């Protein structure tokens, strides 16, 4: 047999043994039951025997009793004969407060005591021989009781009952009646004896109690308050119907501790403890808590209870009442909120108008919010006033609270980042009543550690511009209406920030204006100095020329110095003009499509002669592919490059080299033009001043190298206007590299190419020169002797221009102003008019327009000191055919005049 | 001691470790009853102690630990076997404070010969109940197990502390239950 089988066998044996035990137990129990049944039967039988015996005993006792009564009556009868004994009996009967009546077997009264007379109001002789019911009972007497009494009397049995009787006066009263039949020796009923107690008072007090209880219930149920009671063991046993209709629960579910189920879970433990404590000390209780209303809402109630004591001071439990104070509480809270809000608004309104830094003002605002709303941490972030639109950051300006600040962010965050940045981005107020469960963007570990549960945040907006964000953390729930309530506060803070920003902007503007004014004065002083220097040289050299001892080569040298200084002066004036136009915002950048390579090669071609003359080599470098065409301003680009290259030539000593390059820096998205020299270089300190007007690397530089010091300043402004950047790297003594960078995004690149830069021959050739050259001889002969009307008010200019014109073979007539010019042009015959544009009385523009209007179709050449391109356009608009800038370049003047005369004369040589 | 305790104990052992273990316990405990128990019978409680000692040796667990575990188990069985005692009982406090005044009274009606322990209770406040366990057999660990079973049944969080005291001149164990 295996072990398992062995175990199962043993188990079976044990189960069997257990079953046998159980069976034995059952059998024993059955036997016990049988035995107890039998003994029960035996007891029953015995009881029956004893009952029978007892009945027998009783009837015998009855007989004995009747015999005794009969005996007593007999004795009484004999007593009656005894006067003294009769007196004693009368005394007893009269002293008793109860009424005693003895009637015969027929029910008629045979004897009454004085108590009867007192209670009923009838005297004995009035009632003897009458049945008591015939005069004592009345309409309110209970018929049922009367019938019961009659039955017992008929059957000769004792009875006991309460009955309403009528006093002789008609007043009713209550009696408790105990009536006993009396028998004679033979067992025959002879009399009834009734002892009657006046129980009116007891009945009335019972009635009063019942009525008072009834009144209490009625009162309690109709009362508008919730009423409850406990018994002495503090068990709640009564809740009035007002309570039941409030909770919507039946009495049986409220009694005992049942009503606690309706108390708000958050209040329950407290309320239970309060009741427990009050009951223990038997003191009155007063507590507020939320109780579930039948509509499912918890409403605040005020519950009061006092111990109930009987008159003798015995404790009977508690009685209490409760009233619904929900609305009251809500209104009180709302009122408190409004007061808080008004106080807060006042304080904020005051704070933002105070003096002090923005930080100080916002600190006061945050403080006020913390104090009035009980926030744990209040912070105000602002958008920096001078921040550009695309620099989206917020800076922390005020932080007030009794908790540690969140670990991140610290003092500067990007708009859109974190909760605060999100409020700024969305421009939406936020209210979170449960950080734990409802916010992904707040550091929960921190909030938890600080006990922070709630949050609100406002974007601070003025006229649709975001100026900051106000946020606060709390440890308790905020009113749901807080976002709406605090709108005016947020507005006031916003306006405060805006006002402070504006104030700061004003201060800055004032400083800037002062700075600008100062630099303008400096500029003027510098310009005056710069102009004076070459002018002084010119005047000085002129003085030398008047000295007759100066002769020959010396004179030529002096003429050259005068010319060079004059040129320099002109350059200074042109640069000043450019700069002032730029500063006045009157210089415009064009957008034209052109090949950048062409501009580079033109520039190099222009400056190569000067460089070669000096012994400086220029190489052109192109690295990688560059765009074939770009959209920008070629004129300004050329101006910048000429300036850079001109400087390089100027500062590079003979034998050294200059590299001009163009390349694309793809990682920076820039098209770069650069000029690299092996010149004197620039120190970092000098570099800072480099792009400022009249500041050369060293003031001694001007003396050594010449130049106005305005070139880089102009270049930089032009670069700015074109959306580009000027950059310089340099090492003194080794060389400098000036770059001009144009963002590819701003120049709408069309096509990329590797294109070598053609190296052009330097040329001064103009179309008119070509013409002059190709039609040499005959053409010039044709126009020689042509009559030119020179309209010029300045005697020096008259003299100079007339000199050049006469030298070229023309006849010159002079008009000092516009009026004379018009008169002469209309009355006499001329081949061409040279018109100075700036004249007193009638200027060149008006004169030209008048002439054209009058039908004069002579070529008119404008002579103007306003060398800018816009000026030349203005001349052409007025009706001029071409223009020549002042100061007069003799070659250019003569070429222009010859060309126009040639065109006018036509191929056949006739004047049209 | 009522046979049901023995039956349920052996049931627990069987469900835990199989009948082989039950057999080993019975064999090694040398029981006067031979290990045959009927729920309605009454047996010497020394037999349970002998079984517990044997099981303790087998499981390498202390007898008090076993008694607590068995108490918890047995309470769970009571819930299944005598649902009538759980009618209208809302909480562990509700149940525990009615052991003497109601449950044991009813048990005694069924088993006049049952030797029941005494649980005197005192409400300290709404969240604290004090139960004093007094028994001729003095098995406070068993009582603790039953109480823990009761707490689990009502799914409440109640802290249970115990302290040996002399109550009415008898060695007793006082349990303090704190509801959170």
pLDDT of residue A833: 93
Render pLDDT for A140-159 as a digit per residue (tens, 0 to 9).
888 888 899 888 888 888 88
Alpha carbon of A49 to those of A38, A40, A45, A62: distances in Å?
17, 14, 6, 20
Asked if residue B88 and residue B53 are part of one domain, the reply reads no
Query: Quick check: A767 pLDDT over 70?
Result: no
Q: B36 — contact with chain A (CB < 8 Å)?
A: yes
Query: Quick check: A768 pLDDT over 50?
Result: no
pLDDT of residue A408: 66
pLDDT of residue A867: 56
**How sure is the predictor about A783, in pLDDT bands with cuts at 50, 70 and 90?**
confident
Average pLDDT, integer, range A193-210: 83
Average pLDDT, integer, range A343-360: 83
More confident residue, A79 or A709: A709
The 3-state DSSP class for residue A417 equals coil
pLDDT of residue B174: 92
Asked if residue B79 and residue B143 are part of one domain, the reply reads yes
Examine residue B14 and state whether it is found in any structural domain, yes or no: yes
Of A4, A14, A22, the CB nearest to B35: A14
CATH class, range A355-587: alpha beta
Query: 3.40.1280.10, 3.40.50.2300, 3.40.190.10, 1.10.260.40: which CATH number matches A783-905?
Result: 3.40.50.2300
Examine residue B47 and state whether it is found in any structural domain, yes or no: yes
**How sure is the predictor about A762, in pLDDT bands with cuts at 50, 70 and 90?**
very low
The 3-state DSSP class for residue A615 equals coil
pLDDT of residue B177: 93
pLDDT of residue A39: 82
Average pLDDT, integer, range B23-33: 86
Q: Tell me the percentage of chain A whose pLDDT exceeds 90.
A: 7
pLDDT of residue A791: 93
pLDDT of residue B60: 87
Using an 8 Å CB-CB cutoff, list chain A residues near B26: 10, 14
Q: Is B53 exposed, middle or buried (0-12, 13-18, 19+ CB in 10 A)?
A: middle
pLDDT of residue A752: 59
Q: Look at the block and give the residue holding tokens 């068993």.
A: B142
pLDDT of residue A43: 81
For the domain covering A589-753, report its CATH number.
Answer: 3.30.565.10
User: Is the separation of the CB atoms in A495 and A462 below 8 Å?
Assistant: yes
Asked if residue B96 and residue B26 are part of one domain, the reply reads no
Q: A18 — contact with chain B (CB < 8 Å)?
A: yes
The 3-state DSSP class for residue A302 equals strand
The mean pLDDT value of chain B amounts to 88
Question: Which CATH homologous superfamily contains domain A214-324?
Answer: PAS domain (3.30.450.20)
Alpha carbon of A88 to those of A73, A93, A99, B133: distances in Å?
16, 9, 17, 70
Q: Which of A13, A21, A23 to mutate to test the interface with B (most CBs of B within 10 A)?
A: A21
For residue A245, give the nearest of A267, A229, A227 by alpha carbon. Answer: A227
Q: Is the dihedral of CA A540, A541, A542, A548 positive or negative?
A: positive
Bridge partners of residue A743, in order along the sequence = A670
Distance of CA B78 to the CA centre of its chain: 10
Average pLDDT, integer, range A895-901: 89
For residue A323, give the nearest of A219, A223, A218 by alpha carbon. Answer: A223
Q: Which of B61, B92, B109 is the last residue of a domain?
A: B61
Q: Look at the block and give the residue holding tokens 């520039």.
A: A603
CA distance A183 to chain B (A): 53
Average pLDDT, integer, range B110-126: 83
Using an 8 Å CB-CB cutoff, list chain B residues near A15: 36
Q: A30 — contact with chain B (CB < 8 Å)?
A: no
Query: Quick check: A425 pLDDT over 90?
Result: no
> The domain that contains B135 carries what CATH number?
3.90.1520.10
**How sure is the predictor about A702, in pLDDT bands with cuts at 50, 70 and 90?**
very low
- Whole-angstrom Cα distance, residue A690 to residue A711? 10
The mean pLDDT value of chain A amounts to 81
Examine residue B105 and state whether it is found in any structural domain, yes or no: yes
How many residues are recorded in chain B? 180
Of B20, B34, B125, the CB nearest to A273: B125
Domain around B8: 3-61
Asked if residue B87 and residue B51 are part of one domain, the reply reads no
Query: Quick check: A770 pLDDT over 50?
Result: no
Query: Quick check: A911 pLDDT over 60?
Result: no
Q: Which residues contact A780 (CB under 8 A, 6 or more apart)?
A: A772, A898
Alpha carbon of A604 to those of A270, A612, A628, A638, A719: distances in Å?
95, 11, 18, 10, 19
Render pLDDT for A677-693 as a digit per residue (tens, 0 to 9).
888 888 777 777 677 66
Average pLDDT, integer, range A97-116: 85
Of A4, A13, A276, the CB nearest to B125: A276
For residue B21, give the nearest of B50, B56, B58 by alpha carbon. Answer: B58
CB contact under 8 A, A272 and B126: yes
**How sure is the predictor about A708, in pLDDT bands with cuts at 50, 70 and 90?**
low
pLDDT of residue B112: 75
Q: For A817, which DSSP code?
A: S
Asked if residue B98 and residue B55 are part of one domain, the reply reads no
Q: B88 — contact with chain A (CB < 8 Å)?
A: no
CB contact under 8 A, A17 and B19: no
Bridge partners of residue A382, in order along the sequence = A395, A468
Query: Quick check: B142 pLDDT over 50?
Result: yes
- Whole-angstrom Cα distance, residue A321 to residue A285? 10
End-to-end CA distance of chain B: 35
Using an 8 Å CB-CB cutoff, list chain A residues near B126: 269, 272-273, 276
Using an 8 Å CB-CB cutoff, list chain A residues near B34: 14, 17
Query: Quick check: A416 pLDDT over 80?
Result: no
Average pLDDT, integer, range A531-545: 83
- Whole-angstrom Cα distance, residue A212 to residue A701? 122
Query: Quick check: A763 pLDDT over 50?
Result: no
Q: For A285, which DSSP code?
A: E
User: Is the separation of the CB atoms in A400 and A370 below 8 Å?
Assistant: yes
For residue A163, give the nearest of A147, A180, A186 by alpha carbon. Answer: A147
What's the token pair of residue A622? 């192109």
pLDDT of residue A703: 43
Asked if residue B155 and residue B85 are part of one domain, the reply reads yes
CB contact under 8 A, A19 and B35: no
Phi, psi of A848 (to 5 degrees): -60, -45
HEC states along A397-416?
EEEEECCCCCCCCCCEEECC
**How sure is the predictor about A548, in pLDDT bands with cuts at 50, 70 and 90?**
confident
User: Is the separation of the CB atoms in A897 and A805 below 8 Å?
Assistant: yes
pLDDT of residue A415: 76
User: Is the separation of the CB atoms in A370 and A378 below 8 Å?
Assistant: yes
**How sure is the predictor about A848, in pLDDT bands with cuts at 50, 70 and 90?**
very high
User: Is the separation of the CB atoms in A892 and A884 below 8 Å?
Assistant: yes
Closest residue in B to A16 (Cα–Cα): B36
Average pLDDT, integer, range A784-800: 86
pLDDT of residue A11: 82
DSSP for chain B, please give it: -BHHHHHHHHHHHHHHH-HHHHHHHHHHHT-TTTT---TTSB--HHHHHHHHHHHHHHHT--HHHHHHHHHHHHHHHHHHH-GGGGTT--SHHHHHTTIIIIIHHHHHHH-TT----EEEEEEEETTEEEEEEE-SS--HHHHHHHHHHHHHHHT--EEEEEEEEEETTEEEEEEEEEE-
Q: A9 — contact with chain B (CB < 8 Å)?
A: no
Asked if residue B144 and residue B106 are part of one domain, the reply reads yes
Alpha carbon of B118 to those of A371, B110, B134, B175: distances in Å?
60, 17, 5, 13
Using an 8 Å CB-CB cutoff, list chain B residues near A25: 38, 40-41
Query: Quick check: A813 pLDDT over 90?
Result: yes
Q: Is the dihedral of CA B147, B149, B154, B155 positive or negative?
A: positive
Q: Tell me the percentage of chain A whose pLDDT exceeds 70.
A: 88
Examine residue B129 and state whether it is found in any structural domain, yes or no: yes
More confident residue, B124 or A769: B124
End-to-end CA distance of chain A: 150
Using an 8 Å CB-CB cutoff, list chain B residues near A10: 23, 26
Query: Angle B133-B136-B138 (CA atoms, 0-180°, nearest 5)?
Result: 55
Average pLDDT, integer, range A606-625: 85
How many residues are recorded in chain A? 912
- Strand ranges, E, within A240-284: none
- Burial pattern A752-772, b for ≥16 Cβ within 10 A else e, equals eeebebeeeeeeeeeebeebb
pLDDT of residue A728: 87
- Burial pattern A66-81, b for ≥16 Cβ within 10 A else e, equals beebbeebeebeebee
pLDDT of residue B153: 92
User: Is the separation of the CB atoms in B157 and B180 below 8 Å?
Assistant: yes
CB contact under 8 A, B36 and A17: yes
A221-230, A860-869, B96-105: least confident range? A860-869
- Whole-angstrom Cα distance, residue B71 to residue B77? 10
More confident residue, A93 or A588: A588
- Whole-angstrom Cα distance, residue A664 to residue A862? 43
Q: Look at the block and give the residue holding tokens 């962010």.
A: A409
pLDDT of residue A740: 93
Asked if residue B149 and residue B80 are part of one domain, the reply reads yes
Examine residue B172 and state whether it is found in any structural domain, yes or no: yes
More confident residue, A219 or A787: A787
A515 backbone φψ class: left, alpha, beta (φ>0; ψ -120 to 50):
alpha
Sheet containing A735-743: order of strands: A617-623, A657-665, A670-676, A735-743, A725-731
Of A11, A15, A269, the CB nearest to B23: A11
CATH architecture, range A83-198: 2-Layer Sandwich (3.30)
Q: Which of B61, B83, B104 is the last residue of a domain?
A: B61
Q: Which of B61, B86, B101 is the last residue of a domain?
A: B61
CA distance A41 to chain B (A): 22
Examine residue B26 and state whether it is found in any structural domain, yes or no: yes
- Whole-angstrom Cα distance, residue A7 to residue A512? 108
Asked if residue B54 and residue B110 are part of one domain, the reply reads no
Distance of CA A704 to the CA centre of its chain: 65
- Whole-angstrom Cα distance, residue A181 to residue A153? 8
- Whole-angstrom Cα distance, residue A757 to residue A597? 6
Cis ω before A648 (30° cut-off from 0): no
A82-96, A345-359, A367-381: least confident range? A82-96
Closest residue in A to B21 (Cα–Cα): A7
**How sure is the predictor about B180, in pLDDT bands with cuts at 50, 70 and 90?**
confident
Using an 8 Å CB-CB cutoff, list chain A residues near B125: 273, 276
Asked if residue B57 and residue B14 are part of one domain, the reply reads yes
Closest residue in A to B41 (Cα–Cα): A22
Query: Quick check: A518 pLDDT over 80?
Result: no
Q: A95 — contact with chain B (CB < 8 Å)?
A: no
Query: Quick check: B136 pLDDT over 50?
Result: yes
Asked if residue B44 and residue B113 are part of one domain, the reply reads no
Query: Quick check: A721 pLDDT over 50?
Result: yes
DSSP for B29-60, please give it: HT-TTTT---TTSB--HHHHHHHHHHHHHHHT
Query: Quick check: A908 pLDDT over 70?
Result: no
Query: Quick check: A390 pLDDT over 60?
Result: no
Render pLDDT for A555-611 as a digit per residue (tens, 0 to 9).
888 888 888 888 888 878 887 877 777 777 777 788 888 888 888 988 888 888 888
CB contact under 8 A, A25 and B37: no
Query: Quick check: A861 pLDDT over 90?
Result: yes
- Whole-angstrom Cα distance, residue A25 to residue A39? 20
Examine residue B68 and state whether it is found in any structural domain, yes or no: no
Examine residue B66 and state whether it is found in any structural domain, yes or no: no
Average pLDDT, integer, range B104-108: 83
For residue A679, give the nearest of A700, A649, A644, A640 by alpha carbon. Answer: A649
Q: Which of A4, A14, A272, A276 to mutate to test the interface with B (most CBs of B within 10 A)?
A: A14
The 3-state DSSP class for residue A806 equals helix
CA distance A273 to chain B (A): 7
Using an 8 Å CB-CB cutoff, list chain B residues near A21: 36-38, 41
Query: Angle A343-A348-A350 (CA atoms, 0-180°, nearest 5)?
Result: 95
A87-96, A336-345, A643-652, A880-889: least confident range? A87-96
User: Is the separation of the CB atoms in A759 and A602 below 8 Å?
Assistant: no
Asked if residue B95 and residue B57 are part of one domain, the reply reads no
CB contact under 8 A, B19 and A8: yes
- Whole-angstrom Cα distance, residue A346 to residue A340? 10
Q: For A355, which DSSP code?
A: S
Q: B94 — contact with chain A (CB < 8 Å)?
A: no
Query: Quick check: A811 pLDDT over 70?
Result: yes
């Amino acid at each position: 047999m295996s072990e398992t089988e062995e175990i199962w066998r043993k188990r079976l044996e044990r189960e069997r043994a257990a079953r046998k035990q159980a069976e034995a137990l059952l059998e024993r129990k059955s036997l016990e039951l049988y035995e107890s049944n039998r003994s029960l039967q035996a007891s029953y039988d015995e009881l029956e025997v004893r009952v029978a015996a007892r009945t027998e005993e009783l009837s015998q006792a009855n007989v004995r009793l009747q015999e005794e009564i009969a005996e007593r009556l007999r004795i009484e009868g004999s007593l009656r004969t005894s006067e003294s004994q009769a007196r004693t009996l009368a005394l007893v009967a009269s002293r008793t407060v109860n009424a005693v009546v003895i009637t015969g077997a027929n029910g008629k009264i045979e004897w009454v005591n004085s108590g009867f007379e007192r209670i009923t109001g009838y005297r004995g002789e009035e009632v003897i021989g009458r049945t008591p019911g015939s005069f004592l009972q009345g309409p309110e007497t209970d018929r049922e009781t009367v019938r019961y009494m009659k039955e017992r009397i008929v059957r000769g049995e004792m009875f006991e009952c309460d009955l309403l009787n009528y006093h002789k006066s008609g007043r009713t009263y209550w009696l408790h009646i105990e009536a006993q039949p009396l028998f004679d020796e033979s067992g025959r009923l002879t009399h009834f004896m009734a002892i009657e107690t006046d129980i009116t008072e007891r009945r009335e007090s019972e009635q009063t109690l019942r009525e008072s209880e009834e009144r209490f219930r009625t009162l309690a149920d109709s009362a508008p308050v919730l009423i409850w009671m406990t018994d002495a063991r503090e068990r709640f046993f009564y809740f009035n119907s007002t309570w039941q209709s409030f909770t919507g629960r039946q009495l049986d579910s409220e009694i005992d501790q049942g009503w606690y189920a309706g108390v708000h879970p958050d209040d329950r433990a407290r309320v239970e403890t309060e009741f427990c404590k009050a009951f223990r000390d038997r003191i009155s209780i007063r507590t507020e808590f939320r109780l579930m209303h039948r509509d499912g809402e918890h409403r605040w109630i005020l519950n009061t209870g006092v111990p109930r004591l009987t008159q003798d001071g015995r404790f009977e439990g508690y009685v209490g009442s409760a009233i619904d104070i929900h609305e009251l509480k809500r209104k009180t809270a709302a009122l408190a909120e409004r007061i808080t809000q008004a106080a807060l608004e006042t304080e904020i309104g005051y704070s933002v108008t105070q003096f002090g830094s923005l930080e100080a003002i916002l600190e006061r605002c945050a403080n006020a919010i913390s104090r009035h709303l009980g926030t744990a941490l209040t912070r105000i972030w602002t958008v920096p006033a001078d921040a550009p639109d695309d620099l989206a950051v917020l800076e922390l300006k005020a932080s007030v609270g009794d908790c540690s600040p969140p670990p991140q962010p610290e003092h500067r965050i990007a708009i859109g980042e974190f909760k605060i940045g999100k409020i700024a981005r969305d421009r939406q107020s936020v209210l979170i009543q449960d950080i734990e469960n409802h916010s992904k963007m707040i550091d929960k570990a921190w909030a938890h550690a600080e006990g922070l549960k709630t949050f609100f945040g406002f974007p601070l907006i003025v006229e649709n511009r975001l100026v900051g964000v106000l946020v606060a953390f709390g440890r308790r729930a905020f009113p749901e209406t807080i976002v709406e309530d605090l709108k005016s506060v947020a507005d006031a803070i916003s306006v405060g920030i805006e006002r402070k920003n504006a104030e700061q902007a004003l201060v800055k503007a004032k400083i800037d204006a002062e700075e600008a004014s100062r630099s303008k004065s400096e500029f003027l002083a510098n310009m005056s100095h710069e102009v004076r220097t070459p002018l002084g040289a010119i005047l000085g050299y002129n003085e030398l020329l008047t000295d007759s001892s100066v002769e020959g080569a010396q004179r030529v040298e002096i003429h050259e110095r005068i010319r060079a200084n004059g040129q320099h002066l002109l350059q200074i004036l042109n640069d000043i003009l450019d700069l002032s136009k730029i500063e006045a915002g009157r210089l415009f950048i064009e957008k034209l499509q052109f090949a950048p390579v062409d501009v580079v090669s033109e520039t190099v071609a222009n400056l190569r002669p000067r460089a070669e003359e000096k012994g400086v080599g220029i190489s052109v470098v192109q690295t990688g592919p560059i765009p074939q065409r770009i959209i920008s301003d070629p004129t300004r680009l050329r101006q910048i490059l000429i300036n850079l290259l001109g400087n390089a030539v100027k500062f590079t000593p003979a034998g050294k080299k200059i590299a001009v390059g163009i390349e694309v820096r793809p990682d920076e998205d820039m098209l770069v033009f650069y000029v690299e020299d092996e010149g004197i270089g620039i120190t970092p300190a000098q570099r800072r001043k480099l792009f400022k007007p009249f500041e050369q690397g060293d003031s001694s530089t001007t003396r050594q190298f010449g130049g106005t010091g305005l070139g880089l300043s102009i270049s930089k402004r032009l670069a700015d206007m074109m959306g580009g950047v000027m950059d310089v790297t340099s090492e003194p003594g080794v060389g400098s590299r000036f770059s001009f960078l144009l963002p590819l995004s701003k120049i709408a690149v069309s096509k990329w190419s590797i294109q070598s830069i053609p190296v052009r021959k330097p040329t001064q050739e103009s179309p008119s020169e070509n013409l002059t050259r190709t039609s040499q001889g005959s053409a010039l002969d044709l126009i020689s002797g042509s009559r030119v009307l020179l309209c010029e008010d300045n005697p020096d200019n008259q003299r100079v221009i007339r000199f050049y014109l006469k030298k070229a073979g023309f006849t010159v007539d002079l008009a000092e102003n516009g009026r004379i010019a018009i008169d002469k042009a209309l009355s006499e015959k001329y081949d061409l008019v040279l018109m100075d544009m700036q004249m007193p009385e009638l200027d060149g523009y008006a004169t030209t327009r008048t002439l054209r209007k009058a039908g004069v179709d002579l070529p008119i050449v404008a002579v103007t000191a306003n060398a800018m391109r816009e000026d030349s356009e203005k001349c052409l608009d007025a009706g001029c055919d071409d223009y020549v800038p002042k100061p007069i370049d003799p070659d250019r003047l003569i070429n222009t005049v010859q060309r126009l005369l040639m065109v006018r004369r036509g191929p056949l040589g006739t004047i049209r | 001691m009522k046979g049901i305790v023995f039956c349920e104990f052996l049931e627990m052992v069987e469900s835990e470790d199989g009948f082989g273990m039950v057999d080993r316990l019975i064999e090694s405990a040398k029981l006067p009853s031979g290990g045959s128990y009927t729920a309605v019978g009454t047996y010497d409680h020394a037999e349970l102690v002998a079984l517990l000692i044997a099981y303790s040796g087998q499981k390498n667990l202390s007898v008090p630990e076993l008694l607590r575990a068995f108490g918890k188990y047995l309470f769970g069985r009571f819930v299944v076997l005598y649902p009538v005692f759980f009618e209208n009982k809302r909480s562990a406090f509700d149940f525990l404070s009615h052991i003497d005044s109601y449950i044991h009274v009813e048990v005694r009606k069924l088993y006049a010969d049952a030797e029941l322990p005494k649980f005197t209770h005192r409400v300290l406040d709404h969240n604290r109940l004090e139960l004093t366990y007094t028994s001729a057999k003095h098995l406070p660990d068993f009582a603790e197990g039953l109480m823990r079973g009761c707490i689990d049944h009502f799914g409440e969080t109640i802290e249970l502390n115990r302290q040996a005291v002399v109550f009415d001149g008898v060695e007793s164990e006082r349990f303090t239950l704190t509801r959170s």
